[in-house]
Chain A
Amino acid sequence: MSNWTRACGTDDIDNEDVIPVAIDGHDYAVYRSPDDDYFATDGHCTHEAFLLAEGLVMDNIIECPKHNGRFDYTTGEGKGAPICEDLRTYPVKVEGGSVYIDLG
């Protein structure tokens, strides 16, 4: 079952960057790629649960701001130590200048 929820405006995120979005007490990280595509993942790192949204985005990678663990934010795949678990991703769609994520 899909559950599309507005996360933010398309202009709220700079190109190749990430912002934190909280919906119903759950933290998400919403990304804008260098090609202006949008993606969403869980907000917390799978290593020690720090918030990802202050991390550096480069290409398709988000680096956790705490210990620089890396994930491909387009797939959620963890990219080596200290990450042992992938990151959950959420479907995203853009409509009328807004970014929606499917909370499922």
Chain B
Amino acid sequence: MAATGNVERIVVVGTGECGARVARELRERGFAGAITMIGDEPHTTYERPPLSKSALISDEISPVEVLPVARLAEFDVELMSGTAVESLDRDRMLAVLSDGGEVPYDRLLLATGARARTLPIAGGEFALTLRTIDDARALRAQLGPGRSVTVIGAGLIGLEVAASARQLGCDVTVLEVAPRALGRALPAEMADVLVKRHAEEGVEVLCGVLPTGISRLDGGLAVGVEGFDQPITADVVIAGIGVTPNVELAQAAGLRCENGIAVNDRLRTDDPAIFAAGDCCSFPHPLYGGRRIRLESWRNAHDQAAVAAANMLDGDEQHAAVPWFWSDQYDLGLQHAGLADEAASAVVRDSGNGSQIRFALALDGRLVAASGVGPGTSTAKDIRVAEMLIAAGNRPDPEVVADASVPLKELIKS
């Protein structure tokens, strides 16, 4: 199974953000061999982030393509959509398809992404989930003025859906089992800004409540909640309770999985011909002590695609990009760079005009994370600078960081 010699055939499993980007990246790096992208969704490559935001609010959800069809042709990429890879024959280096076909590879990338978790309670199947464009269309068809919507889970997707449903005129309630919203994603102070905004829009976010079951009631649904006398009734229930990485294909092929398909910092699995990238993989992050993490973000899918492409072509690039994500709720834009678990102190930069940024510093003064929230992209520039400072292991002067009259950009120059 040694993967040596010329790389002539590259197979990409999964045609999401990561798979599509890899195909483009391979060509931009001069790869002239065959690229076959195989995806089980019956669509061309499309972006997911708009599905809970701008697209969900529009009347008809049209896809934003990651690689427009014209580009696929220009890059001479074969796209097999509506086709699942059922198994990998690693000895013969073949991807075996749901229709029985076999596609040989010299290098194979697993970019299988993740799927929405379903609610593990009685009647959990009545709750919609949102991962694909088909999910978004099914959800959109249920939303409109006066419809009542219960969102289970106050994470990013749950709150984005809540904001979009509200903007479509729905009555929205969000239920979160944890003591606060966005516990996994953001510091409490930043989460509060968003929750407060939801309250101003008339969306109630109830934390510390445990849904126990969902049943049909009078043409609608009733969500039982522990400690509540009455169930919460709604026309639509949607669960945004996280995702599960799609590791089954890798697992069945005997590849190591630890909270995702386990790869090294070059995004290689233990099989030298097979790589994994995007939401499906876990990897050691050099900026955070080599700790194994898995990220579920658009930028990570793109960044890892570039590294995987280089290394499938026998390069030796390390994936060390600073984790970064954004969210949009109403007119508020959130951007976050870094991982905050080493945070020992925080510095706040209040830029007026409703924007603020929270910087997290480690004990040794290193900047480890920054989150900004404000109208539109008002904090973007500073978060981008913060990202560069985090990547460089910079220990910024907290007074300068807090002083909104000093452009943060000065710090990368000094």
Question: CB-CB < 8 A to B47: which residues of A?
Answer: 82
* CB–CB B381/A55 < 8 A: yes
Given contacts A66-B326, A67-B298, A82-B66, contact A56 B21 (CB under 8 A): no
A63 to B21, CA, bound (A): 18
Which residue of chain B has its CB nearest to the CB of A49? B54
* CB–CB B377/A84 < 8 A: no
Number of interface residues of A (CB under 8 A): 15
* CB–CB B380/A55 < 8 A: yes
Question: CB-CB < 8 A to A66: which residues of B?
Answer: 326, 377, 380
A84 to B380, CA, bound (A): 21
* CB–CB A81/B25 < 8 A: yes
Residues B38-57 near A (CB distance < 8 A)? 47, 50, 54
Residues A8-48 near B (CB distance < 8 A)? 48
Residues B1-39 near A (CB distance < 8 A)? 21, 24-25, 28
Given contacts A67-B299, A81-B24, A82-B302, contact A50 B71 (CB under 8 A): no
Residues B254-307 near A (CB distance < 8 A)? 298-299, 302, 305
Question: CB-CB < 8 A to B183: which residues of A?
Answer: none
Q: What is the count of residue pairs linking A and B with beta-carbon distances less than 8 angstroms?
A: 47
A55 to B66, CA, bound (A): 22
Question: CB-CB < 8 A to A65: which residues of B?
Answer: 377, 380-381, 384
Which residue of chain A has its CB nearest to the CB of B71? A84
Which residue of chain B has its CB nearest to the CB of A53? B377
Q: Considering the complex of A and B, which 8 residue pairs feature the smallest CB-CB distances, nearest first?
A: A65-B380, A65-B377, A54-B377, A56-B381, A56-B384, A81-B21, A54-B380, A66-B377
B interface secondary structure, majority: helix
A56 to B408, CA, bound (A): 11
* CB–CB A68/B381 < 8 A: no
A54 to B351, CA, bound (A): 14
Count chain B CB atoms within 10 A of each CB in A55, A66, A67 and give the residue with the most: A67
Chain B interface residue number, banded? 20 to 34
Question: CB-CB < 8 A to B324: which residues of A?
Answer: 68
Tell me the smallest distance from the CB of A41 to a CB of chain B, in Å: 17
Q: Is B64 an interface residue (CB 8 A)?
A: yes
Question: CB-CB < 8 A to B377: which residues of A?
Answer: 50-51, 54-55, 65-66
A50 to B326, CA, bound (A): 14
Which residue of chain B has its CB nearest to the CB of A48? B64
Q: Is A80 an interface residue (CB 8 A)?
A: yes
Q: Is B385 an interface residue (CB 8 A)?
A: yes
Question: CB-CB < 8 A to A54: which residues of B?
Answer: 376-378, 380-381
Question: CB-CB < 8 A to A48: which residues of B?
Answer: 50, 54, 64
Tell me the smallest distance from the CB of A46 to a CB of chain B, in Å: 11
A60 to B142, CA, bound (A): 47
* CB–CB A81/B302 < 8 A: yes
Given contacts A50-B377, A56-B409, A84-B71, contact A68 B299 (CB under 8 A): yes
Name 9 extra pairs, CB < 8 A, besides A54-B377, A56-B385, A68-B324. Answer: A51-B376, A51-B377, A54-B380, A55-B380, A56-B380, A65-B377, A67-B298, A68-B384, A84-B71
Residues A52-83 near B (CB distance < 8 A)? 54-56, 63, 65-68, 80-82
Question: CB-CB < 8 A to A68: which residues of B?
Answer: 299, 324, 384
Question: CB-CB < 8 A to B67: which residues of A?
Answer: 84
Tell me the smallest distance from the CB of A53 to a CB of chain B, in Å: 9
Q: Is B169 an interface residue (CB 8 A)?
A: no
A66 to B299, CA, bound (A): 11
Tell me the smallest distance from the CB of A63 to a CB of chain B, in Å: 6
Count chain A CB atoms within 10 A of each CB in B66, B324, B409 and give the residue with the most: B409
Question: CB-CB < 8 A to B385: which residues of A?
Answer: 56
Tell me the smallest distance from the CB of B133 to a CB of chain A, in Å: 16
A104 to B29, CA, bound (A): 36
Question: CB-CB < 8 A to A56: which residues of B?
Answer: 380-381, 384-385, 409
Residues B384-399 near A (CB distance < 8 A)? 384-385
Question: CB-CB < 8 A to B384: which residues of A?
Answer: 56, 63, 65, 68
* CB–CB B28/A80 < 8 A: yes
Residues A78-97 near B (CB distance < 8 A)? 80-82, 84
Q: Is B202 an interface residue (CB 8 A)?
A: no
A-B residue pairs in contact (CB < 8 Å), sample of 6: A54-B376, A65-B384, A66-B380, A67-B298, A81-B21, A82-B47
A65 to B64, CA, bound (A): 18
Q: Is B208 an interface residue (CB 8 A)?
A: no
Question: CB-CB < 8 A to A51: which residues of B?
Answer: 376-377
* CB–CB A67/B326 < 8 A: yes
Count chain B CB atoms within 10 A of each CB in A50, A51, A80, A82 and give the residue with the most: A82
Question: CB-CB < 8 A to B378: which residues of A?
Answer: 54
